[in-house]
Amino acid sequence: MIKTGEKHIIFMYSALQQDVQGRVGDDVTLQCQISTEEIISVLKWSRADLNTDGYVYFYRNKRSYENYQHPSFHGRVKLRDPEMKDGDVSLILKNVTFNDTGIYECHVAVRNPVRSKRVHTEISRFINLTVTALQQDVQGRVGDDVTLQCQISTDEIISVLKWSRADLNTDGYVYFYRNKRSYENYQHPSFHGRVKLRDPEMKDGDVSLILKNVTFNDTGIYECHVAVRKSGKSKRAHTEISHFINLTVTGEFVTSEKLQHRPCLQLC
Instruction: Dump pLDDT digits (tens) for 6-31.
Output: 455 555 555 668 899 888 778 999 99
Q: What is the mean pLDDT of residues 184-209?
A: 94
Say which amino acid occupies 102. G
* 257 located within any domain: no
Whole-angstrom distance, CA of residue 205 vs CA of residue 227: 12
- On the question of pLDDT at 115 being above 80, the answer is no
Q: Are residues 57 and 152 in the same domain?
A: no
pLDDT of residue 162: 95
> In the prediction, which pLDDT does 217 show?
95
Residue 187 lies in a domain: yes
pLDDT, tens digit (0-9, with 9 covering 90-100), for 53-93 = 789 999 998 899 999 999 989 999 999 999 999 899 999 99
- Is residue 259 included in any domain, yes or no? no
Same domain as 156, residue 35: no
Mean pLDDT of the 187-193 span: 95
Same domain for 109 and 142, yes or no, is no
Instruction: Report the C-alpha gap between 119 and 54 in whole angstroms.
Output: 27
Residues 103 and 203 in one domain: no
Instruction: Identify whether residues 185 and 64 lie together within a single domain.
Output: no
CATH of the domain at 42: 2.60.40.10
Whether 264 is in a domain gets the answer: no
In a domain, 258, yes or no: no
Distance CA 237, CA 107 (A): 25
> pLDDT band for position 152 (50/70/90)?
confident
pLDDT in tens, 253-268: 554 454 455 554 444 4
Lowest mean pLDDT among 23-37, 109-123, 166-180, 249-263: 249-263
DSSP E strands in 100-234: the ranges are 102-111, 119-132, 135-141, 146-148, 156-165, 175-178, 181-182, 195-197, 209-211, 220-230
Q: What is the mean pLDDT of the chain?
A: 83
Residues 116 and 47 reside in one and the same domain: yes
Q: Is residue 110 part of a domain?
A: yes
One domain, residues 106 and 190: no
Domain that residue 209 falls in: 135-250
Residue type, 67: N
* Residue 118 and residue 6 in one domain: yes
- Predicted pLDDT of residue 129: 92
Percent residues over pLDDT 70 in the chain: 80
- The predicted pLDDT at position 15 comes to 62
In this structure, the answer to whether residues 103 and 194 fall within a common structural domain is no
Note the pTM of the prediction, 2 decimals.
0.56
Of 90, 117, 132, the last residue of a domain is 132
What's the confidence (pLDDT) of residue 252? 65
What are the two backbone dihedrals, phi and then psi, of residue 37, each rounded to the nearest 5 degrees?
-90, 10
* ∠ CA 185-181-166, rounded to 5°: 50
Most confident region among 38-52, 122-136, 166-180, 184-198 by mean pLDDT: 184-198
What is the pLDDT confidence band of residue 121, given thresholds at 50, 70 and 90? confident
Q: Find the mean pLDDT for residues 153-181.
A: 87
In a shared domain, residues 164 and 125: no
Domain boundary among 132, 166, 182: 132
Into how many domains does the chain fold?
A: 2
My answer on whether 114 and 7 are in the same domain is yes
Same domain for 190 and 234? yes
